[in-house]
Amino acid sequence: MLEVTVVERFELGRARLWDALSDLEAHREWMADVRTLRFLTEQRSGVGTRYVIKVGLLRVRDHIAVITWAAPRELAITHRIGPVRGEGRFLLDVAGAGTRLEWRARFEIPWWVGGKLTERLAAPATRRLLAANLRSLRRWLADRL
């Protein structure tokens, strides 16, 4: 299983950071790998919201469903990218006057798609991508405050 966690501290209150993360449509504005985002449900927030994004240069489709919506502390989704299944989780904790944001990603890659080898090779790139996206989120928020 590929598992990656990145952590960043923001000089924002937890409620303000939650507002940014819970705006699912805006994810395409600060996630560098997201090319398009299309909702599959009428609802745009909360458990049960489903959407599809196209990611990367090849515009691979990632089918996403929200599974946890616990404002202002946790937002979790499932991923389905072809045969690959995964989960992403944002955890927000108060850290002094700011907020500690932990982003966990976990993917199960079938053996016939490379399994353990693909997981080992993809982990560093996934970690770099998530860290870059958090830096992009910081810039995106700075432009809106």
Residues 6+ apart with CB under 8 A from 83: 109, 110, 112, 113
Q: Show Cβ contacts of residue 142 under 8 Å, excluding neighbours closer than 6 positions.
A: none
Token pair belonging to 85: 């299944």
Give the count of beta carbons closer than 10 Å to the beta carbon of residue 37: 19
* Interior angle at CA 133, CA 94 and CA 137, nearest 5: 55
> Above 90 in pLDDT, residue 58?
no
Residue 140 — left, alpha, or beta (φ > 0 → left; ψ -120 to 50 → alpha)? alpha
More reliable by pLDDT, 113 or 9: 9
Whether 5 and 102 have beta carbons less than 8 Å apart is answered as yes
In order of their start, the domains of the chain are 2-30+66-144 (3.30.530.20)
pLDDT confidence bin for 66, thresholds 50/70/90: very high
Q: What's the CA gap between 90 and 97, in Å, rounded?
A: 19
pLDDT tens-digit readout, 16-54: 999 999 999 999 999 999 999 999 999 999 999 999 999
